[in-house]
Amino acid sequence: MKRKILFVCWGNICRSPAAEGIILNLLKDRGLEKQFEIDSAGILNYHLGELPDSRMRAHAIRRGYNLVHRSRQIQTEDFYHYDLILGMDDHNMNDLRDRAPSPDEWCKIHRMTEFCVNILADHVPDPYYGGATGFEYVLNVLEDACEGLLTSLTQDS
């Protein structure tokens, strides 16, 4: 049975598709891609069908991540389909709880930074209005959190 993970941020063009790309890379490197279903979504529908932000794609490609996800908005069905839904910040966490069809699905919702091992962060900041250092920092946090997430999921197996 596949474990199903959904990464969520505001518009699904920076943080969540980067997390998706990072975890897909880690899974492929470890030969675990068949054990997981990975996707990302946004709280808002401003960027439906768009590729990730060009700046995020440029920074990610330098690290070996090819971000090809097309933006989509989270749907009610996602709360039933996915085992784990990871929000990037307080706003995302509150919106996810508000959108969950019932409190029963709240146990699936977690903050991405809960899985950080080496970087002390309480959220993954939105780099959209910042410069290059913001995108690099977000990728650092997401790499750390994705490593921690994968370790926690594979230790439970």
Return the DSSP state at 88.
S
pLDDT recorded at residue 155: 86
Return the DSSP state at 128.
T
List the catalytic residues: 9, 15, 126
Residue in this structure with the two tokens 């990975």, named with its chain if needed: 38
Q: C-alpha angle 95/99/103, rounded to 5°?
A: 105
CA atoms of 78 and 85, how far apart (whole Å): 9
CA atoms of 22 and 28, how far apart (whole Å): 10
What total of structural domains would you count in the chain?
Answer: 1
pLDDT per residue rounded down to tens, the chain (157 residues): 899 999 999 999 999 999 999 999 999 999 999 999 999 999 999 999 999 999 999 999 999 999 999 999 999 999 999 999 999 999 999 999 999 999 999 999 999 999 999 999 999 999 999 899 999 999 999 999 999 999 999 985 5
Q: Is 82 left (phi over 0), alpha (psi -120 to 50) or beta?
A: beta
pLDDT recorded at residue 157: 53
pLDDT recorded at residue 130: 87
Phi, psi at residue 52, to the nearest 5°?
-55, 160
Where residue 133 sits, what CATH number does that domain have?
A: 3.40.50.2300
- Residue 43 sits in which domain range? 3-155
Residues 6+ apart with CB under 8 A from 80: 101, 105
Residue in this structure with the two tokens 């993970």, named with its chain if needed: 5
Helix and strand numbers (H, E) in the chain are 5, 4
